[in-house]
Amino acid sequence: MAQLVAKTSAAIAVDDSLTTLIDWMNIESLAGFTVVVENAGGGSANDIADVQIDTSDDGGVTENLDQHAGVPAVPITSGDSKIGTFTETAKFVRIRTLCAAGEDTTANAILLADSATGRICTLADVKERLGITDTDHDQTLNRILLGIESLFDGFTGRSLLLTPIDVTEYYTGCGPQLQLKRYPVISVTSIKQALDYDFDSATALTADSDYRLINNGKDGILYSMYAPWFSTLDCIQVIYRGGYCAAGLSPGPGETAMPADLREAAIEQATFIFKRKDDIGLAGVGFEGGSISKFSAIKLLPMVEQILKKYRRPQL
């Protein structure tokens, strides 16, 4: 498989109820995907009794699931791992597992997929620009595309890509306007303010009564209508979806396509990095860890930097 899409950062405690190891990763699989589940031990160090792979066209938002139970093969004993390979395409994947009744352990998972679309630009975009027709460099190119997403987000101070499901973020107010990190805003599920951080007990604010989403969410600005936002650190909880639809995907209702100039900037930067991959050591290093530090040291092309300046998150 070409691309390491996701890996749990640490072993997760698993008992006899279904536990999520990887939750609805957007992979837009072109030619199937592979799942590796490891019983990392700990707890009572019991066997993993079941693994369930869920796929969905919308990240489970409508619970339109295609479930594959018992893959990878079980049981998985402590210190062991099992691989499951899926040949069908998939948009979103969730990995869940459990132990037998009364047992517990820890587990982690790796999800690998050949991406059909990409991120800010697609793998096909970059290969066409480079004149590459084989798959020999797909692994390196996919690492570059993931790195560019981080690079662009860091420069603009925002998260450019739309999430498949709601995200929960915390903010500190300063005056009547609040600038979100992900925009255009697609939907707001709830906004709560809690000086004691007890958001479960706090009352959700009402749209167009307590706050207003300015310019229909295009700039990510929330306006508090009667009083300034609370200024205590991280006392504002916002649950919402926002960002641009990934390149190569058709926007859903209310979603905004990836801007053409952002996509072109990503193509140009990816092409430049690929041509210098040996100089900066990308050909032989995994994305997680080493490549992140390498990308942080990469200088943006002048044309790319000029485009990204248009998308910088303002400091209110």
**242, 275, 292: which is the final residue of a domain?**
242
Digit-coded pLDDT (tens) for 260-286: 999 999 999 999 999 887 765 554 444
Digit-coded pLDDT (tens) for 19-50: 999 988 877 666 678 888 999 987 777 999 99
Task: Look up the domain containing 172 and give its range.
Answer: 167-242
Digit-coded pLDDT (tens) for 192-239: 999 999 999 999 999 999 999 999 999 999 999 999 999 999 999 999
**242, 257, 277: which is the final residue of a domain?**
242
* Residue 316 maps to a domain: no
Rounded distance, CA 285 to CA 150, Å? 17
* Residue 314 maps to a domain: no
What's the structural domain count of the chain? 3
* Residue 193 maps to a domain: yes
Looking at the structure, do residues 179 and 71 belong to the same domain, yes or no?
no
Looking at the structure, do residues 127 and 252 belong to the same domain, yes or no?
yes
* Residue 107 maps to a domain: yes
Q: In what helix (H) or strand (E) does residue 307 lie, and over which residues does it extend?
A: helix 302-309
Under the banding of pLDDT at 50, 70 and 90, the label for residue 287 is very low
* Residue 209 maps to a domain: yes
Under the banding of pLDDT at 50, 70 and 90, the label for residue 142 is confident
DSSP for 77-104, please give it.
-TT-EEEEEE-S--SEEEEEEEESTT--
**242, 268, 283: which is the final residue of a domain?**
242
Looking at the structure, do residues 27 and 142 belong to the same domain, yes or no?
no
* Residue 315 maps to a domain: no
The answer to which of 4-8, 79-83, 100-104 has the lowest mean pLDDT is: 4-8
Under the banding of pLDDT at 50, 70 and 90, the label for residue 110 is confident
